[in-house]
Every structure is written in C-alpha cells, then in structure tokens.
C-alpha cells in the first residue's frame, strides 16, 4: 500500500459501493416519469404511474410487500430478543448459537426450497405423519405454500433472519455490559426475561438498529424467496417488477420503473414508520419499567422463545436434509416417508451442467470477495494510519446499499448498462455483486481490525519495521482468522445473490442460485435438490475453511488461536 494511494481508498470504496446504487436509481427515475428513449418514449409524463394504478393486482401486491416484510422482521426480532433474554449464557443457548451460525450462510433460495419441500401438503412433515397420525392417503388440498397471505414466505424469511439478527445481537452484547446489568436486575428480584428486556435490550437495540433496518428493507423487496414460497395471484410487488422488466413490450419497463419507485417509497415509509414505532415502544417500555413488574410469566415466555428458535433452526436443517433426500430419490410417492429407491441418476443427469454453474459461481464469488477484502483492508489501514474515525453517518453510508431495495435500482442499472453497451459478460455482474459483498465484508472485518492491540505494531516499528511491514508481517497474520471469516461471509453473500446476477447478467451468467431459482417454476424436486445442495455447499465450505485454517496455523500458538 503506497502512501499516496492509501488515502484515496476510502473514497474509491464509497464510489464502488454507492456508484451503482445512485446510477441505478437514476436509471429508474427517468423511465418512471415516462422517459425511455430506447422505447421511443420521451417524458416527463405521469402515464407510467397511471398504468401502475390501473393494474388490478396493485393493492394486494403492495399489501403483501408491507405485511410480509414488516411481519417477518417483527417476528424474527421478537424471537431473537426473547431467546437472548431468556437463555443467553446457558447451555441450550450455546447449542442453539452453534446450530444457527452456520445457517447464516445458507443461501435464501436453498432455505426457501427446503422449507417448501418440508411444509407443503405433500411435503416431508406431512409424509412422515401420514397416514399414521393424520390418516391422509393423499395430500390434503390446503393452500400452505404460495398462500395469498404470504405466510409461507414470511416463515421462509424468518428462519433466515433469525440467525442473522442473533449473531448481530451477540456481537452487540459484548459492548453492553449485559452480565452485570442482569446480575443487578436479578438481585432486585427481576425475572430473567423481564430483567434483560428492561436493562439490556435498549442498549442492544441501539447497536443492532441498522441490521434490523436491513432485514426490513430486504424482506419487503425480496424476489427469490417470494418466487419460491410467495403467492402468485398476484405476487408481491418486487416479483411483479421483475416480471414487467422482462415483458416483451418495452413500454412495460416504464410501468416497472414506476413500480420500482413505489417499492422504494414503501421501504422508506416502512423505515420511517418503524422509527416512529421505536419511539412508541420506548415510551411504553419506560412506563413498563417504571411500573416495576418483576415478571411473572418469564419462564413460559423463555420456553416459548426457545421452542421458536429451535423450530427455526430445525426448519432449515431439515429442509437441507430433504433437499439431499430428493437429490438421491428414485420414485417417491405420497405418503411414503422415504423414496422407493435411492439413485445416483439425478446427480449424473444434473451434475455436469451444475458443475459449470458452480465454476461460474466460484469465479464470481472469489474475485468479488478478493476485491472487497483489498478495499476493506485499505480503508481500515487508512483509517488507522491517518487517524480517521468513522462517524455514525459513515455507518449509514455503509448500510445504504443494503437499505435501498434491490428491485428499485437494479432494473435501472440494467437499462443504463444496456444503453452504454457494457451489459455483456461477467464483469458487470461482479461489479453489482461487489455492491452487496463489500458492506458485509467491511462490517465483518472492521471490529476485529480495530480491536487489534496497536502496541504490537509499536513494538514491530521499534524493531525497524516500516508501516507496510507492520501491516503485512504482523497485523494481517495475526488477524488471519477474522480475515478468513470475512472472506467466507463475502463468498456466502455473493453465492446467494439472485437479482443482480439475473438482471445484470442478462441471462448469460448462470450461477447455482439463478439456475436453482429458474428450476423453481418446473417443480422438478430432484433437480432442485441437486442445485440447492451445491449452492449451500458453495456457501458453507469457506466457513469450514475459515475454522480449520487458523486451527492448523496456530496449533503452536494457543494465544492467537482465538484472536
């Protein structure tokens, strides 16, 4: 890192991260107001919004976006808060924590498929219980997956967001002095849950506020989970936007752009409403704290929360298991608990094309993550050497790409790239992935990097090491574990990207995720099983490496092993 180059890195990082978002929003704004020269439309006009208003599915699609998004966020947050309140520091909690953290990297699409194969009327749960418990010889005609209320979709989001929020909560707990607060509360006779909620939660929430907003924005505008588990008559707004984007009639893109702006407005409105809700909860909470109740139903609440947390972890794990079973299944009729025969035929049929997608997935993920790591390390080192500090506003910038709904700016970005002729190939896809990978890599690496004991660097410098020498020969080796973890996070994020790959890749870039979601419409569970498992493996393997390598590397340096 040359001294002159280093100070520009934070700016470059911001440009790489926010440039596509801003450009994409611009590319959405113009057609939304009727300006799309490519389709022979010149604005400004409000016609696209009128056309959008005339779509009969609009009220339901908007309603779905709001209810599933807010619902999933509230449920996930409540489960995580009560779980932590009731059980943090206990054995079951550690077990659950160990089970949930790898689930963080399971791609949303794979988790959604697993859940669908599990809870559908013909799913595994129903098969295991039939006909013995239920008496069903045939699957009941129940609208469980793709229900109009989006409940299945909400469940799919909750099981994926619980691990995310839990890990965020755990890392926040370390900075809140929770144990002493809880001890004091307990000494004053407060129940475990009530004491935690009244003393620790307000401080934890302040720390996890931004991640919660990310979950809210994501859940309101998700596409892949909605395609797999969500309703279709009509679909949620985000899915409809993608459908309009691919209509043969280019004029529909104007309508899609108008809907994308509406989606953005919905997310902003929901975030504002959530912020106001926070104030309301805070006021009610204060009254609740002042009332001084010690908590009479704590035990029941804690047990319920544990049950929900366990169910959520089990749903993903069993879902992955049923994907595996389907991938090896011969004929498997209802209500058999297992297939008639096990066969390698499915893997032999789909293996070769899946291997191609795996290669493309890996190429994108590794390149993008490497770029993200270099930028992140550069920013953090610049911050360290030049004594910069990141303000709260800086954190918002970091979270911005995760807060702007993907369906709001990716369609615009695609139109822009198309109009400059840079839309073909793998590079634009990588650039789009970087927008999402970079914040996660940064967030994952920033705390361990800043927490590094600078005195070690001073010693090294005193021994004659240059600043670059300190970085490469002392700091980076000591931080190998968090760097590998950040790498694994980056790869998992890239592997799971659906919309950026689909829209920016123009169909020419096929990763495991786009292939798997494309298979959703065909309903071939064997093929989906193969792709879903490979997708999960591609996201999980780097985490295994991130655990194994430091253990090997530091086998003689116990003090560094947990650095």
Partner 1 sequence: MKHLAYLAAFLPTVALAQTDPADWDAVTAAAEGQTVYWNAWGGSTTTNDFIAWVGERVAADYGVTLEHVKLTDTADAVTRVLAEKQAGENDDGAIDMIWINGANFAAMKEQDLLFGPFAEQLPNWAFVDVDGKTVQTDFTVPVEGYEAPWAMAQVVFIHDTADLAEPLGNMGLILEWAQANPGRFTYPQPPDFLGTTFLKQALVDLLDDTSVLAEPATDDNYDAVTAPLWAFLDDLTPALWREGRAYPATGPAQLQLIADGEVDLAISFSPGEATAAIANNQLPDTVRTFVLDGGTIGNASFVAVPYNSGSTEGAMVVANFLMSPEAQARAQDPNILGYGTVLNMDALSADDRAAFDALELGIATLSPAELGTVQAEPHPSWMTRIADDWIQRYGVAQ
Instruction: Give contact residues for partner 1 (rule: CB under 8 A).
Output: 37-40, 55-57, 60, 121-122, 137-139, 141, 143, 145-148, 231-234, 246-248, 250, 329-334, 343, 345, 349-350, 352-353, 418-419, 421, 423-424, 506-508, 510, 515, 518-527
169 contacts 193 by C-beta, under 8 angstroms: no
Rounded to a whole number of angstroms, the minimum distance from the CB of residue 124 to partner 1 is 11
Nearer Cβ to partner 1, position 421 or 559?
Answer: 421
Alpha-carbon distances, residue 475 vs 9, 502, 510, 543 (angstroms): 19, 39, 38, 21
Nearer Cβ to partner 1, position 247 or 453?
Answer: 247
Measured distance CA(413)–CA(428) in Å, rounded: 10
Nearer Cβ to partner 1, position 7 or 507?
Answer: 507
Nearer Cβ to partner 1, position 161 or 515?
Answer: 515
SS3 assignment for 244-284? HHCCCCCCHHHHHHHHHHHHHHHHHHHHHHHHHHHHHHHHH
Beta-carbon contacts of 434 under 8 Å, excluding residues fewer than 6 positions away, are: 16, 17, 368, 371, 372
Rounded to a whole number of angstroms, the minimum distance from the CB of residue 24 to partner 1 is 16
Measured distance CA(514)–CA(510) in Å, rounded: 6
Q: Helix, strand, or coil here: 107?
A: coil
Nearer Cβ to partner 1, position 135 or 523?
Answer: 523
Rounded to a whole number of angstroms, the minimum distance from the CB of residue 119 to partner 1 is 14
Nearer Cβ to partner 1, position 260 or 382?
Answer: 260
397: its two tokens: 């910038």
Measured distance CA(57)–CA(153) in Å, rounded: 18
89: left (phi over 0), alpha (psi -120 to 50) or beta: left
Beta-carbon contacts of 406 under 8 Å, excluding residues fewer than 6 positions away, are: 221, 223, 238, 499, 500
Nearer Cβ to partner 1, position 122 or 194?
Answer: 122
Rounded to a whole number of angstroms, the minimum distance from the CB of residue 419 to partner 1 is 5
Nearer Cβ to partner 1, position 198 or 350?
Answer: 350
Nearer Cβ to partner 1, position 109 or 493?
Answer: 109
Compute the CA torsion angle 415, 420, 421, 423 (nearest 10 deg): -40
Beta-carbon contacts of 500 under 8 Å, excluding residues fewer than 6 positions away, are: 406, 410, 429, 432, 433, 435, 436
506 contacts 528 by C-beta, under 8 angstroms: no
Rounded to a whole number of angstroms, the minimum distance from the CB of residue 505 to partner 1 is 10
365 contacts 489 by C-beta, under 8 angstroms: no
Rounded to a whole number of angstroms, the minimum distance from the CB of residue 518 to partner 1 is 5
Beta-carbon count within 10 A of 212 CB? 23
Rounded to a whole number of angstroms, the minimum distance from the CB of residue 64 to partner 1 is 11
Backbone angles phi, psi at 223, to 5 degrees: -110, -50
391: its two tokens: 């303000």
Rounded to a whole number of angstroms, the minimum distance from the CB of residue 179 to partner 1 is 49
36: its two tokens: 């799309």
Nearer Cβ to partner 1, position 16 or 23?
Answer: 23
Rounded to a whole number of angstroms, the minimum distance from the CB of residue 111 to partner 1 is 19
Rounded to a whole number of angstroms, the minimum distance from the CB of residue 373 to partner 1 is 31
Beta-carbon contacts of 529 under 8 Å, excluding residues fewer than 6 positions away, are: 323, 324, 325, 326, 327, 328, 329, 346
Q: Helix, strand, or coil here: 341?
A: coil
Nearer Cβ to partner 1, position 122 or 376?
Answer: 122
Beta-carbon count within 10 A of 436 CB? 23
Among the listed residues 542, 544, 516, the one whose alpha carbon sits nearest the alpha carbon of residue 530? 516
Among the listed residues 57, 67, 17, the one whose alpha carbon sits nearest the alpha carbon of residue 219? 67
At CA 412, angle to CA 406 and CA 415, rounded to 5?
135
C-alpha atoms less than 13 angstroms from C-alpha of 112 in its C-beta half-sphere: 27
Rounded to a whole number of angstroms, the minimum distance from the CB of residue 122 to partner 1 is 4
Rounded to a whole number of angstroms, the minimum distance from the CB of residue 433 to partner 1 is 19
Rounded to a whole number of angstroms, the minimum distance from the CB of residue 5 to partner 1 is 36
Nearer Cβ to partner 1, position 363 or 461?
Answer: 363
Nearer Cβ to partner 1, position 45 or 232?
Answer: 232
């Amino acid at each position: 890192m040359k001294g002159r180059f280093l100070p520009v890195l934070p700016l470059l990082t911001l440009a790489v991260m926010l440039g596509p978002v801003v450009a994409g929003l611009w590319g959405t704004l113009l057609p939304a107001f009727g300006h799309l020269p490519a389709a022979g439309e010149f604005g400004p006009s409000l016609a696209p919004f009128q056309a959008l208003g005339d779509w009969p599915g609009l009220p339901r699609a908007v309603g779905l976006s709001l209810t599933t998004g807010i619902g999933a966020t509230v449920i996930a947050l409540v489960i995580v808060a009560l779980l932590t309140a009731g059980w943090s520091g206990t054995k079951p909690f550690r077990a659950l924590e160990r089970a949930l953290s790898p689930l963080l990297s399971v791609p949303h699409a794979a988790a959604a498929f697993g859940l669908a194969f599990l809870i559908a009327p013909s799913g595994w749960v129903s098969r295991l219980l039939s006909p013995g418990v239920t008496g069903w010889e045939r699957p009941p005609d129940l609208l469980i997956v793709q229900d109009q209320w989006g409940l299945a979709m909400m469940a799919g989001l909750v099981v994926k967001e619980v691990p995310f929020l839990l890990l965020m909560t755990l890392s926040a707990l370390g900075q809140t002095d929770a144990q002493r607060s809880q001890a004091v509360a307990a000494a004053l006779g407060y129940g475990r849950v009530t004491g935690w909620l009244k003393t620790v939660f307000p401080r934890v929430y302040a720390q996890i506020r931004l991640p919660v907003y990310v979950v809210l924005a994501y859940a309101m505008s998700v596409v892949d989970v909605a395609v797999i588990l969500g309703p279709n008559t009509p679909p949620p707004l985000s899915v409809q936007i993608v459908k309009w984007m691919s209509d043969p009639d280019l004029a529909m893109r104007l309508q899609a752009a108008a809907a994308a702006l509406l989606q953005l407005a919905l997310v902003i409105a929901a975030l504002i409403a959530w912020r106001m809700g926070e104030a309301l909860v805070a006021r009610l909470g204060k009254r609740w704290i002042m009332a001084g109740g010690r908590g009479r139903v704590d035990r029941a609440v804690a047990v319920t929360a544990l049950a929900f947390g366990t169910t959520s972890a089990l749903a993903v794990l069993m879902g992955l298991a049923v994907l595996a079973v389907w991938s090896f299944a011969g004929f498997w009729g209802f209500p058999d608990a297992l297939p008639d025969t096990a066969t390698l035929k499915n893997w032999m049929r789909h293996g070769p094309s899946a291997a191609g997608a795996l290669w493309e997935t890996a190429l994108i993920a590794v390149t993008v993550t490497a770029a993200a790591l270099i930028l992140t390390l550069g920013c953090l080192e610049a911050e360290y050497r030049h004594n910069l500090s990141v303000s709260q506003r800086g954190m918002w910038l970091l979270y911005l790409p995760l807060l702007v709904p993907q369906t709001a700016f990716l369609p615009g970005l695609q139109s822009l790239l198309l109009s400059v002729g840079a839309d073909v190939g793998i590079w634009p896809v990588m650039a789009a992935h970087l927008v999402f990978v970079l914040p996660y890599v940064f967030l994952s690496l920033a705390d361990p990097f800043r927490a590094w004991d600078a005195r070690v660097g001073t010693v090294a410098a005193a021994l004659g090491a240059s600043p670059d020498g300190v970085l490469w020969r002392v700091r980076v080796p000591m931080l190998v574990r968090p760097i590998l973890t950040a790498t694994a996070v980056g790869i998992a994020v890239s592997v799971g990207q659906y919309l950026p790959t689909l829209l920016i890749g123009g169909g020419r870039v096929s990763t495991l995720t786009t292939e798997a979601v494309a298979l959703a419409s065909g309903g071939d569970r064997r093929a989906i099983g193969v792709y879903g498992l490979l997708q999960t493996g591609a996201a999980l393997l780097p985490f295994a490496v991130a655990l194994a390598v430091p253990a090997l590397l530091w086998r003689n340096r116990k003090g560094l092993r947990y650095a």
